[in-house]
Structure 1
Amino acid sequence: MFAGTQETNQRLFYKLLVDNVEELLPIVYTPVVGEACQKYGSIFKRPQGLFISLKEKGKILEVLKNWPEKSIQVIVVTDGERILGLGDLGCQGMGIPVGKLALYTALGGVRPSACLPITIDVGTNNEKLLNDEFYIGLRQKRATGQEYSELLHEFMTAVKQNYGEKVLIQFEDFANHNAFELLAKYGTTHLVFNDDIQGTASVVLAGVVAALKLIGGTLADHTFLFLGAGEAGTGIAELIALETSKQTKTPIEETRKKIWLVDSKGLIVSSRKHSLQHFKKPWAHEHEPVDTLLEAVKVIKPTVLVGSSGVGKTFTKEVIEALSSINEKPLILALSNPTSQSECTAEEAYQWSEGRAIFASGSPFDPIEYKGKVYYSGQANNAYIFPGFGLGLVISGAIRVHDDMLLAASEALAKLVTEENYEKGLIYPPFSDIRTISANIAAGVAAKAYELGLATRLPRPENLVKYAQSCMYSPVYRNYR
């Protein structure tokens, strides 16, 4: 019913969402959005975004011109191949761009009319969907190779032609091989951002930087172990290495050495280099092979454990007990979404670490009582970063995304964690302050865009936080009396 309000009374929808963000965020986004995508065909009433299929090859510019709004600032696009931890949902993945853009408006203040959700339908390899009478997409196996890249290239060219240089194109839930390739290919010619790689990295780095107040030391003092070496895992690892490199003025090749990744075949080590995908190769360090996560915890002795595997229940009792025996205050980040795919629950993290863990997760968990004490867990949700990040690009008229902007976003978020939050064991500020958080992140990102000469909106406003707030859409009802 609430989601239906978005179509019938847009202002009311955003008013409700802005005023009750903590309560309604799980409904608009994870975990409910995952279920909505799984059932999208059977609950479909009318398209909320633009579907572009293989059949429109050669006519994509015409299709874009059919969208009624002409002034678009942010596009979120998916091809539905890797929706959350749920896999290939084909064009039923439209729920993700729609949900993300609702948050761009509610949390980042980007005007709803300036947001465009797009799903590129190139087929699906999900047999269940291909045989489902209610599936709304092309009933064929996924297009790959040249056919796929030509369609995407036509799309990227048409977007720039129709909306100009300053439209932000956010890639969402593409499979690993395409996600890295698209970001590398178009990062130098378009304003592009991949939330799975860059947004996740930025929000996790902010949490780690904030957590240093509780676990002690600097970034360079810590050893990181990741379970999962896909878009999220390698993206986070690279941004942590980049920030550590900037802080210590050491080459990034050196700072990567304190970050270890485990994939489905075990610890990523140099003897595996020949068989690794290109994005895993920088993490293949000198070490004898290690088969399991538990074994890796015992030999690497990490201070921070990060889960980005998309597989639930992988931080077992043995793993967390081993981590807790090494560290007084282990930092555990179970990032996979939705809740069913979380590497462990908040309750498991606190119980198995005897209440010593600092814990944050991708999906929300209620406060936990353990031995008479209440433990609150933070949510390392990309919704902290991408709405403010996008707003910062929009208000500065940025034409490219630079890694330093991601670092600026992390820094701005980490600074907003208060003493009161720390006392509760939280490493993120409460979502109830999200519009203030977004304005601060937008200001940090915009400042970096001006500093790097990537901003086109001149002259630079004096107070960027105030300017960001003044640009934010607010769903207020006019007073006629």
Structure 2
Amino acid sequence: MPRQFQFHTEDGHETAQIAVRGRQVLARPMLNYGSAYTMEQRDALGLRGLIPPAVNTIEQQVARCYGQFSMQPTNLAKYVYLNSLQDLNEILFHRLVAEHLEEMMPIIYTPTVGEAIQEFSSTFDRQRGMYLSIDHDVDVEGITSALAAYGNGPDDIDIVVVTDSEGILGIGDQGVGGIRIAIGKSAVYTTAAGVHPMRVLPVVLDVGTDNLALLHDPNYLGLRHERVRGERYDQFIDAFVEAVKERFPHALLHWEDFGATNAHQVLERYRDEICTFNDDIQGTAAIVVASVLAACRAKEEKLSEQRVVIHGAGTAGIGIADLMRDIMISEGLSEEEATARFWGLGSRGLIHTGGKMRPFQERYARDTAELEEWKADDDGNYSLEETVRQAKPTVLIGTSAQAGAFHEELVREMAEHTDRPIILPLSNPTSKAEAVPEDLLEWTDGKALIATGSPFKPVVRDDATYSIAQANNALVFPGMGLGTVAVQATRLTDAMITAAAQAVAEMTTVGTEGAAILPSMKDLRSVSAAVAERVAEAAAAEEGVARLILENPREEIEKLMWTAEYPEVQVVDEIEKPSPRPTDPVSKPARGSIGVRSMGDDSPLSRWRPRFPGRKG
């Protein structure tokens, strides 16, 4: 069957070619502009009588929707409302979120999305994204066939966001409901970085669940057996990667909320094979390191001068340590000296030689010989309190999901040994935060430099107002994705991630009393553009990474960023197929259109991106 509609962008001007009529138009979220259709467009598209007679601007629609949003009684109800709006009119959804970003980001993303994931099976209404099952999509052929059913051709997807739902936020294994974290991340790519909403594909890999509540829930929509592990799991992941490479050969593969062991193993296995990254490891590391770099700027100190305690040295914690260590080495420390500046704590306290640990934690294990004067607890473990007393950290990072772990005595002990302690209670949701900013400022006499995982209101203390930075991955991963897409990178490298962290750290006003150490979420769009520019430059500096070299990165990246405006409508009887893409193995062209196809139309589709004067790498 022929394609039904197509978007085309040229010199920043977007056009929607529409070959369907009547209710079929309104049934497609990217075409349903509702009351914004003019009378002439309604006649041409067969919409007369299907829409109330008033013709509204998108601004009027946003105002009406914001009123409806504000009437919702709970955050979960607000999430459901926005989810329904996205399924009805996707452009209006993105415009509404963009205009109320600070208020709505915590709804479509953390922390509210965690509650929505837990309620997935009971609130499920309309399919979005891809659901791949280890029991049914067992090989490359089966997964490729499933991906093809989504209706996108080889050049239609820029980013695939995938989760297996084992390590969702702070709530653990959520089975098939994890699709909502992939959907949320996809929406952030669009809102924050202007990646076209049709060019991001959310995917959940259903390998079962160990969550007994889900397995006994009669409404549960996922596989009803325990989580598959070992060789069969590895084969499924490998088949998925091969299928993505085959179906979407130029896409960035974004891993999200995998369990700690699998997250590291999967990343290490594929990071040198395809363009990929893990947001929990590398994205979290980038925003936390950005926070610490900005705080160091406020103290006029180097990162390599800091002593770092990480409470919760799992997937995120070790990723943070790895990136910080790399920067310390770049500042002149040896690898051994840099590693010695970290103390990581897991579920059994301080990670040390002879103790139980995961392979990816081993490089940060403290030598038992240096702990001879430390006091162990009754189980022979070294506590967070003992670690802070002995290590005298200047930086304290919490990724433990242990509410209140950074208590008054601990914080005051830390503050005795550093004038301006850097304290980051990062665990989500808010109920799991290691401390709250108001207490941290009280216990340090207002001297603490703070970033949190969840949003907190400003704190007023001694006639000064302290804005609290939110170390939200959304400040880095959308820009990293956009920069990677802009240069058509073959890999997302450590240097590109470091560039993202440095870009965010440099966008702060560290000299002002009470100023947040990170940019505000309301500036997310400009932050993403700045991150993308630096990431693109870092990719271009590494041999063989950037397929396309941008002549003017700032201008060309801004041209790439999609905005939530209704495009010009062209009513057509059929949509012409774009010319097939060249087979040039070095670079793929900047392309101008994207559409959704019915099965049977296997012609390649051009990109939504505008044409810009780049040169091939």
Same structural fold, with TM-score higher than 0.5 when normalized by the shorter chain: yes
Structure 2 match to 1:56:
137
User: 1:45: which partner in 2?
Assistant: 125
Q: Secondary structure at the match of 1:177?
A: helix
Write the mapping of 1:272-421 to structure 2, written as runs, cut at 5 A.
272=355, 275-286=356-367, 287-288=370-371, 290=376, 291-418=382-509
Amino acid at match of 2:433: S
3-state DSSP of counterpart to 1:423:
coil
8 Å CA contact 2:509, 2:515 repeated in 1: no
The alignment status of 1:452 with 2:542, answered yes or no, reads yes
- Partner of residue 266, structure 2: 182
Structure 1 residue 456, shift from structure 2 partner: 4.5
1:397 alignment partner, SS class: coil
- Name the CA distance, whole Å, in 1 between partners of 2:399 and 2:500: 21
1:138 aligns with 2:223: yes
Q: What's the TM-score once normalised by structure 2's chain length? A: 0.75
Q: State the 1:69 CA deviation.
A: 2.7
Whether contact under 8 Å (1:398, 1:449) holds in the other structure is yes
Please tell me whether the aligned partners of residues 69 and 113 of structure 1 are also in contact (alpha carbons under 8 angstroms): no
Contact kept, 8 Å, 2:87 with 2:126, in 1: the verdict is no
Further displaced range: 205-214 or 222-231: 205-214
Question: Is the 8 Å Cα contact of residues 318 and 361 (structure 2) preserved in structure 1?
Answer: yes
The CA deviation at 1:310 is 2.2
User: Are residue 2 (structure 1) and residue 86 (structure 2) matched?
Assistant: no
Code of the residue aligned with 1:472 in structure 2: it is M
* Match in the other structure for 2:172: 87
Give the superposition deviation at 1:372. 3.5
Deviations 1:246-268 (A, max 9, x none): 121x3323211111111121112
Describe how 1:67-146 pairs up with structure 2 within 5 A. 67-70=150-153, 71-146=156-231
> Aligned-pair distance for 1:394?
0.2
**Contact 2:509–2:516 (Cα < 8 Å) also in 1:** no
Maintained 8 Å contact 1:215/1:330: no
Match of 1:199 among 283, 288, 304: 283
Match of 1:470 among 553, 559, 574: 559
Distance in 1 of aligned mates of 2:256 and 2:510: 34
Q: Helix, strand or coil for the counterpart of 1:107? A: helix
Contact 2:95 2:564 in 1 (8 A): yes
**One-letter amino acid of the counterpart of residue 106, structure 2:** P
User: Could you tell me how far apart the structure 1 residues matched to 2:447 and 2:503 are?
Assistant: 27
* TM-score computed with the length of structure 1 as normaliser: 0.96
The alpha-carbon deviation at position 478 of structure 1 amounts to 5.1
For the pair shown, the structure with the greater C-alpha radius of gyration is: 2
State the structure with bigger RCO (CA 8 A, min sep 6), 1 or 2.
Answer: 2
Task: Say if 2:310 and 2:343, in contact at 8 Å, map to a contact too.
Answer: yes
| Count of matched residue positions in the alignment of Structure 1 and Structure 2 | 474
Distance 2:562 2:467 in 1: 31
Q: CA deviation at 1:455?
A: 3.9
Q: Which runs of 5+ in 1 are unaligned?
A: none
Q: Structure 1: how far apart are the matches of 2:205 and 2:510?
A: 45
How far residue 2 of structure 1 moved from its aligned partner, in angstroms, is: 2.1
How big is each residue's C-alpha offset from its partner over 1:2-26, in whole Å with a ceiling of 9 and x where there is no partner? Answer: 2211111111111111122111110
SS in 1 for 2:480: helix
Shift, 1:376, TM fit: 1.4
DSSP-derived class of the 1:56 partner: coil
Deviations 1:241-289 (A, max 9, x none): 00010121x33232111111111211122343xx321111110123316
1:436 deviation in Å? 1.3
Aligned partner of 1:263 in structure 2 is 346
Give the Cα separation in 2 of the matches to 1:158 and 1:227: 38
Instruction: Tell me how large the CA RMSD over aligned residues is.
Output: 1.5
Deviations 1:39-63 (A, max 9, x none): 1111100221100001221311110
Is 2:112 the partner of 1:36? no
Contact 1:358/1:425 (8 A) holds in 2 = no
> Equivalents in 1 of 2:277, 2:558: separation in Å?
22
Answering whether residue 98 of structure 2 is matched by residue 13 of structure 1, we say no
Partner letter of residue 128 of structure 1? A
Structure 1 residue 138 displacement after superposition: 0.4
Task: Determine what percentage of the aligned residue pairs are the same residue.
Answer: 38
Identify the structure with the greater helix proportion.
Answer: 1
Q: Work out the CA distance in 2 between the residues paired with 1:2 and 1:413.
A: 28
Q: Structure 2: state its 5+ residue gaps.
A: 1-80, 377-381, 570-617
Q: Distance in 2 between matches of 1:192 and 1:310?
A: 27
